[in-house]
Amino acid sequence: MSGVVRTIKSLRVRKNPFEVELALAGRLPRRVALYLAEHAPHAFSRQRVLDLLEQVDSFLPACDLETREWESINARAVVWICLSRQSIEAEQSAEELFEHRKVVRVALVGGGSLDGEILYSAPAAEARLVDYLNRHERFLQLWDGDRLYLVNKESVARIAENGHER
């Protein structure tokens, strides 16, 4: 039996803490550490927060940074997760170039809003913002200066374009 336990322990995936600000439906935002796999499935790169959020029916392993309480957070209950400049640099493996930039205000279902830019690339036939929003991903990326918000599309009531494409 002890051989089985040793084998199971050796099969565990190493996880690393990644600090973010997180807002759940009906609650105030707070700082948590999410735990990301050292290697993404079927890849040699580190798992990203967006990879974790896009998993079907996923619970996020987390630790509240103020209370030090461990918890599992339902990804469907996440309104948004905010990454700082430092965490964005750790999250992005390479500089991405985007063809489209839309300045927007995102109105949230539970009240409140977020302002920022949605950056994306798309073929000419699918270049409208609505085409990008209707892609299959559950979370959209909203850039606000030095911060990146990963916003749950189910928590979005409305997105208004605040300016012309740059």
Around Cβ 121, how many Cβ atoms within 10 Å? 11
Which of 7-11, 60-64, 103-107 has the lowest average pLDDT? 7-11
> 81-95: per-residue pLDDT in tens?
999 877 676 555 445
| CATH 2.30.30.100 domain residues, the chain | 100-161
Sheet holding 147-152, edge to edge: 70-74, 59-64, 30-37, 15-24, 78-83, 147-152, 139-144, 113-120, 100-108, 156-161
- Is 30:66 a contact under the CB 8 Å cutoff? yes
> 26-59: per-residue pLDDT in tens?
899 999 999 887 755 555 566 788 888 888 678 9
Third-level CATH fold of 100-161: SH3 type barrels. (2.30.30)
Is pLDDT at 4 greater than 80 in this prediction? no
- Give the pLDDT band of residue 166 (cuts 50, 70, 90): very low
**pLDDT attached to residue 34:** 93
